[in-house]
């Protein structure tokens, strides 16, 4: 059954989501895009029309919305008849948008954990501080709410579940590795909102090991990975959303997240952090102006969307899942490789936005078809991974696996694993 | 004849100047200190009393003053009976304070070139853009205005003149070298107002070579110096005030300024500059707030005055002056070594403030005694260097020389050169 979709947000990820919804509006219904600045939604709609992305004639409309305003969001959900809300706005909006969905009966999808402006890196598990507090209410009212359905978190959660279901009898370690081997040609830039990007790394690093939260400093633990396509890359143990749900859902396996950083990124980050320029707490200038340093750094850095035209190279994101199979130790690497230029050519965004923006649309399609319309709150690893991976294979993010039998595509439409 | 002094400014340099005026109030008269925040002046006065710095009982008073307000400054000069104004406030004040001095007949002393907030690194010679435009008026009205009478510019200009007068028949090269080999123990800090400090280095580098202005990039040209006390240090060709007057007054000699920088300083500076955080031009945050990034960086960095208690090590600042003497090539190095801790113990400021704050008081003493009361505008190298160097020898900044005859003190009270 077709379901109308409301996309909240108008950044690079929203642009990808809009294109993908348009490309699949035979499964989805009317498409609405809302953000504080309607002009940004208008530009996304223009881009969708330029690429002739609408699969069949259909509604594609822009709206101005302050999504922190729950009543306004509810009104827009009702006015547009949206049955699915894809929240790809700033992470500060989650709890407001979720509230609006619960109150109106719409399904909710997001791609990153809720954040409060004045707080970073709260007590683990992070989902427990906000989203999971609404789990009972969602179940009671039959609201489908899929949390963290981007790539990481999102697809990597499905990869972990897939490994557990189909490749291993028992999982002992999940090591998620995220490498962006692309180059944007700027002195320094973040691939998504600098404010959210830096906030990920200014606190401590939580990982789940030996059935407890382990705390490290950022860039304390590094490791070289030799990955398909992108080759040897240095990655560092980081805090990341998916660790906080997989810690609960992987039967006690260790869960770590590793992100690739160049020495240049680390140097810039270290300088900015040590000086205090990444602080989310305001400082007062000599002239008496109150300013949040991180917001000024953001204003000085390139707009992530502006990187897309010149971005070259590939990303490789996947899960090393280790465990026991038939009494023997086994490790599989389930992964995707995406290409920045290919993403730009298709939807006008760079590869990082692409990997984050395609999966929530796959999730929306699975809600529309009923397969993921679970009438409760769920993290991605709590849902059947096969249909998700199959849709992603078809709509731009093919899954591959590397193990003792070599490197090959993963697909369930044609063959079993 | 004793002359009342008005010190404008209440930072580290003003504190040193206040202590030194107090220590010499048998030559100078009443001492007044004025800044926007009177409380900062009060704290300086407390510190002078704590150290029992007043040589004889005398007036020592604090005043609130916005020195950009010319009429208010004139009124304060008249009210205090100040015959000498030592301007050690921000470099943005020079032209206003100079105006007030010309209109009231007070003598004017500063330690750095005038700057306009929205401009950096203007067309050389820098003095030609502002101060020198008032030279004719000063001469006509008999106003003594001594420009750049800190250490560098200031003492180093006197060193150049001394070398020209007494050690060489003809000068071909003046290389001023400024090394701070001290350590403040912070991750990063500037030794004086970060805003002024960074503005020195964000533009191009002007040097005077082959009778024309040469343009380089910052950190483009580096050179290792082996200096007395501080040893081998890497210094870089920089733009600096004194180059712009010495270019006119050293009979066609090349004039270069070299400042020592650690690799760490250069790295931090490079990151901040490349990101745009050292810009004096405002940016607009996503929330619509207009902010000058450089002012936010300043707000995040330690207050230079706060470095003093833990500052250790020494500075070495001097002039390598090369030329011809008796038909043969000769190079002399005339220099001073100052000690951060000794400065703190004496006047409660670190060594950089000390070297900048002592010389304008020596200049004021020479105006009071008449030796430098020249009734016109002058840069330091246009004035007789011997009495200046003799006072500095006595009040805390002894001069030494290194040449083919070894390393020794320079003093004219006891012996000729």
pLDDT tens digits for A350-369?
A: 999 999 999 999 999 999 99
Percent of chain A with pLDDT over 90: 90
Chain A residues near residue B286 by CB distance under 8 angstroms: 195, 295, 298-299
For B68, counting Cβ atoms within 10 Å of its Cβ (0-12 exposed, 13-18 middle, 19+ buried), the class is: middle
pLDDT tens digits for B5-18?
A: 999 999 999 999 99
Q: In which band, very low, low, confident or very high, does the pLDDT at A415 lie, cut at 50, 70 and 90?
A: very low
Measured over the CA atoms of residue B352, residue B354, residue B360 and residue B366, the dihedral's sign is negative
From the list A277, A279, A299, which residue is nearest B284 (CB)?
Answer: A299
Chain A residues near residue B287 by CB distance under 8 angstroms: 295
pLDDT tens digits for B23-58?
A: 999 999 999 999 999 999 999 999 999 999 999 999
Element (H, E) at A226: strand A222-227
Q: In which band, very low, low, confident or very high, does the pLDDT at B290 lie, cut at 50, 70 and 90?
A: very high
Query: CATH 3.30.360.10 residue ranges in chain A?
Result: 155-349+399-409
pLDDT for B118: 75
Does A204 lie at the interface with B, CB-CB under 8 angstroms?
no
Chain B residues near residue A279 by CB distance under 8 angstroms: 300
DSSP state of A166: I
pLDDT for B67: 97
- For an interface test with B, which of A271, A287, A289 has the most B Cβ atoms less than 10 Å from its Cβ? A271
Contact B258, B179 (CB under 8 A): no
Does A271 lie at the interface with B, CB-CB under 8 angstroms?
yes
Query: CATH 3.40.50.720 residue ranges in chain B?
Result: 3-150+352-395
For A159, counting Cβ atoms within 10 Å of its Cβ (0-12 exposed, 13-18 middle, 19+ buried), the class is: buried
- The answer to whether the Cβ–Cβ distance between A275 and B299 falls below 8 Å is no
Does B211 lie at the interface with A, CB-CB under 8 angstroms?
no
pLDDT for B199: 76
- For an interface test with A, which of B299, B301, B302 has the most A Cβ atoms less than 10 Å from its Cβ? B299
The domain covering A3-151+350-395 belongs, at the CATH homologous superfamily level, to: NAD(P)-binding Rossmann-like Domain (3.40.50.720)
pLDDT for B251: 95
- The answer to whether the Cβ–Cβ distance between A296 and B298 falls below 8 Å is no
DSSP state of A154: B
- The answer to whether the Cβ–Cβ distance between B283 and A300 falls below 8 Å is yes
- The answer to whether the Cβ–Cβ distance between A299 and B286 falls below 8 Å is yes
Instruction: Calculate the CA A347 to chain-centre distance.
Output: 17
Does B284 lie at the interface with A, CB-CB under 8 angstroms?
yes
Does A267 lie at the interface with B, CB-CB under 8 angstroms?
yes
| CA atoms within a 13 Å half-sphere pointing along the CA-CB vector of B24 | 28
* Gap from A238 CA to chain B (nearest CA, Å): 23
Q: In which band, very low, low, confident or very high, does the pLDDT at A304 lie, cut at 50, 70 and 90?
A: confident
Chain B residues near residue A187 by CB distance under 8 angstroms: 274-275
Here the tokens at position A145 are: 């709410």
Here the tokens at position B61 are: 């008073």
From the list A274, A284, A300, which residue is nearest B277 (CB)?
Answer: A300
pLDDT tens digits for B234-269?
A: 999 999 999 999 999 999 999 999 999 999 999 999
- The answer to whether the Cβ–Cβ distance between B275 and A287 falls below 8 Å is no
- The answer to whether the Cβ–Cβ distance between B275 and A295 falls below 8 Å is no
Predicted ipTM of the assembly:
0.77
pLDDT tens digits for A50-72?
A: 999 999 999 999 999 999 999 99
* Gap from A10 CA to chain B (nearest CA, Å): 14
* Gap from A261 CA to chain B (nearest CA, Å): 16
Does B288 lie at the interface with A, CB-CB under 8 angstroms?
no
Q: In which band, very low, low, confident or very high, does the pLDDT at A196 lie, cut at 50, 70 and 90?
A: confident
Here the tokens at position B129 are: 């853009």
Stretch B292-304: mean pLDDT, rounded? 95
pLDDT for A412: 86
Q: Strand pairing of B314-325 and A254-260?
A: unpaired
Ranges assigned E (strand) in B219-269: 222-227, 231-238, 254-260
Q: B301: closest CA among B265, B261, B341, B276?
A: B265
pLDDT for B417: 38
Instruction: Evaluate if residue A18 carries a pLDDT over 50.
Output: yes
* Gap from A9 CA to chain B (nearest CA, Å): 14
- The answer to whether the Cβ–Cβ distance between B291 and A283 falls below 8 Å is no
pLDDT for A417: 38
pLDDT tens digits for A144-161?
A: 999 999 999 999 999 999
pLDDT for A414: 52
pLDDT for B122: 80
Does B309 lie at the interface with A, CB-CB under 8 angstroms?
no
Instruction: Evaluate if residue A191 carries a pLDDT over 90.
Output: no
For B237, counting Cβ atoms within 10 Å of its Cβ (0-12 exposed, 13-18 middle, 19+ buried), the class is: buried
Please report, for residues A236, A277, A292, B23, the alpha-carbon distance to residue A269 in angstroms, rounded to integers and kept in the order given: 14, 10, 17, 47
Contact B355, B336 (CB under 8 A): yes
Instruction: Evaluate if residue A416 carries a pLDDT over 80.
Output: no
Q: A391: closest CA among A416, A417, A374, A371?
A: A371
- For an interface test with A, which of B300, B303, B304, B305 has the most A Cβ atoms less than 10 Å from its Cβ? B300
Does A136 lie at the interface with B, CB-CB under 8 angstroms?
no
Measured CA to CA, the distance from residue B197 to residue B269 in angstroms comes to 11
In CATH, B155-349+399-409 is 3.30.360.10: yes
A-B Cβ pairs (cutoff 8 Å, strict): 85
Does B275 lie at the interface with A, CB-CB under 8 angstroms?
yes
pLDDT for B183: 94
If contacts are CB pairs under 8 Å, which of residues 369-408 in chain B contact chain A? none
Q: Which residues pair with A84 in a beta bridge?
A: A5, A107
- The answer to whether the Cβ–Cβ distance between B283 and A267 falls below 8 Å is no
pLDDT tens digits for A127-146?
A: 999 999 999 999 999 999 99
* Gap from B275 CA to chain A (nearest CA, Å): 6
The total number of residues shown for chain B amounts to 417
pLDDT for B2: 84
Q: Which residues pair with B183 in a beta bridge?
A: B312
Contact B175, B156 (CB under 8 A): no
Stretch A25-32: mean pLDDT, rounded? 96
pTM (2 d.p.):
0.79
pLDDT for A121: 65
* Gap from A329 CA to chain B (nearest CA, Å): 46
Instruction: Evaluate if residue B341 carries a pLDDT over 90.
Output: yes
pLDDT for A122: 80
- The answer to whether the Cβ–Cβ distance between B296 and A284 falls below 8 Å is no
Does A268 lie at the interface with B, CB-CB under 8 angstroms?
yes
Please report, for residues A54, A227, A316, A318, B198, the alpha-carbon distance to residue A398 in angstroms, rounded to integers and kept in the order given: 22, 16, 11, 12, 50
pLDDT for A112: 94
- Average pLDDT, rounded, for chain A: 95
Measured CA to CA, the distance from residue A321 to residue A256 in angstroms comes to 11
Task: Identify the CATH number of the domain defined by range B3-150+352-395.
Answer: 3.40.50.720
Stretch A24-48: mean pLDDT, rounded? 97
Chain A residues near residue B292 by CB distance under 8 angstroms: 285
Measured CA to CA, the distance from residue A213 to residue A246 in angstroms comes to 12
Stretch A169-185: mean pLDDT, rounded? 96
Place of tokens 């990153």: A112
Chain B residues near residue A286 by CB distance under 8 angstroms: 195, 295, 298-299
Instruction: Calculate the CA B255 to chain-centre distance.
Output: 17
Measured CA to CA, the distance from residue A60 to residue A184 in angstroms comes to 31
pLDDT tens digits for B375-390?
A: 999 999 999 999 999 9
Here the tokens at position B80 are: 């205090």
Q: In which band, very low, low, confident or very high, does the pLDDT at B350 lie, cut at 50, 70 and 90?
A: very high
Q: Which residues pair with B258 in a beta bridge?
A: B177, B237
Q: In which band, very low, low, confident or very high, does the pLDDT at B121 lie, cut at 50, 70 and 90?
A: low
- Backbone phi and psi for residue A132, each to the nearest 5 degrees, phi listed first: -65, -20
Please report, for residues A310, A311, A398, the alpha-carbon distance to residue A182 in angstroms, rounded to integers and kept in the order given: 10, 7, 18
Q: In which band, very low, low, confident or very high, does the pLDDT at B21 lie, cut at 50, 70 and 90?
A: very high
Contact A16, A33 (CB under 8 A): no
Measured CA to CA, the distance from residue B118 to residue A411 in angstroms comes to 61
Instruction: Evaluate if residue A402 carries a pLDDT over 60.
Output: yes
Here the tokens at position B125 are: 């010679």
Does A276 lie at the interface with B, CB-CB under 8 angstroms?
yes
pLDDT for A333: 98
Does B266 lie at the interface with A, CB-CB under 8 angstroms?
no
- For an interface test with B, which of A36, A202, A297 has the most B Cβ atoms less than 10 Å from its Cβ? A297
From the list A271, A287, A295, which residue is nearest B267 (CB)?
Answer: A271
């Amino acid at each position: 059954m077709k379901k109308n979709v409301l996309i909240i947000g108008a950044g690079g990820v929203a642009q990808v989501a809009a294109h993908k919804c348009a490309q699949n509006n035979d499964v989805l219904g009317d498409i609405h895009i809302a953000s504080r600045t309607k002009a940004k939604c208008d530009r996304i709609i223009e881009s969708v029309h330029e690429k002739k992305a609408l699969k069949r004639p259909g509604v594609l409309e822009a709206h101005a919305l302050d999504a922190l305003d729950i009543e306004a969001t509810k009104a827009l959900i009702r006015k547009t008849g949206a049955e699915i809300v894809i929240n790809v706005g700033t992470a500060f909006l989650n709890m407001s948008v979720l509230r609006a969905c619960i109150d109106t009966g719409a399904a909710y999808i997001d791609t990153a954990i809720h954040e409060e402006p004045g707080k970073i890196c709260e007590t683990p598990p992070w989902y427990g501080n906000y989203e999971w507090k609404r789990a009972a209410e969602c179940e009671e009212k039959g609201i489908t709410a899929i949390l963290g359905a981007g790539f990481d978190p999102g697809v990597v959660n499905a990869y972990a579940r897939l490994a557990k279901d189909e490749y291993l009898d028992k999982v002992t370690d999940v090591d998620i590795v995220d490498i962006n081997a692309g180059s944007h040609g700027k002195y320094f830039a973040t691939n998504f909102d600098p404010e959210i990007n830096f906030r990920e790394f200014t606190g401590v690093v939580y990982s789940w090991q030996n059935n407890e939260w382990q705390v490290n400093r950022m860039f304390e633990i590094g490791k070289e990975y030799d990955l398909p396509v992108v080759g040897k890359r240095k990655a560092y143990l980081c805090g990341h959303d998916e660790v906080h749900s997989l810690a609960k859902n992987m039967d006690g396996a260790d869960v770590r997240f590793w992100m690739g950083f160049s020495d240049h990124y680390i140097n810039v980050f270290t300088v900015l952090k040590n000086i205090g320029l990444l602080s989310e707490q305001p400082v007062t200038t000599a002239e008496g102006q109150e300013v949040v340093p991180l917001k000024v750094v953001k204003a000085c850095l390139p707009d992530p969307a502006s990187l897309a035209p010149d971005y070259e190279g590939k990303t490789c994101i996947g899960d090393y899942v280790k465990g026991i199979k038939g009494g023997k130790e086994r490790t599989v690497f389930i992964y995707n490789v995406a290409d920045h230029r290919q993403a730009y050519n298709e939807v006008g965004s760079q590869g990082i936005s692409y990997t984050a923006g395609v999966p929530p649309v796959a999730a929306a399609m699975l809600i529309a078809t009923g397969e993921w319309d679970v009438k409760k709150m769920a993290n991605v690893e709590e849902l059947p991974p096969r249909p998700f991976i199959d849709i992603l294979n078809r709509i731009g993010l093919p899954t591959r696996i590397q193990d003792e039998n070599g490197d090959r595509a993963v697909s369930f439409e044609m063959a079993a694993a």
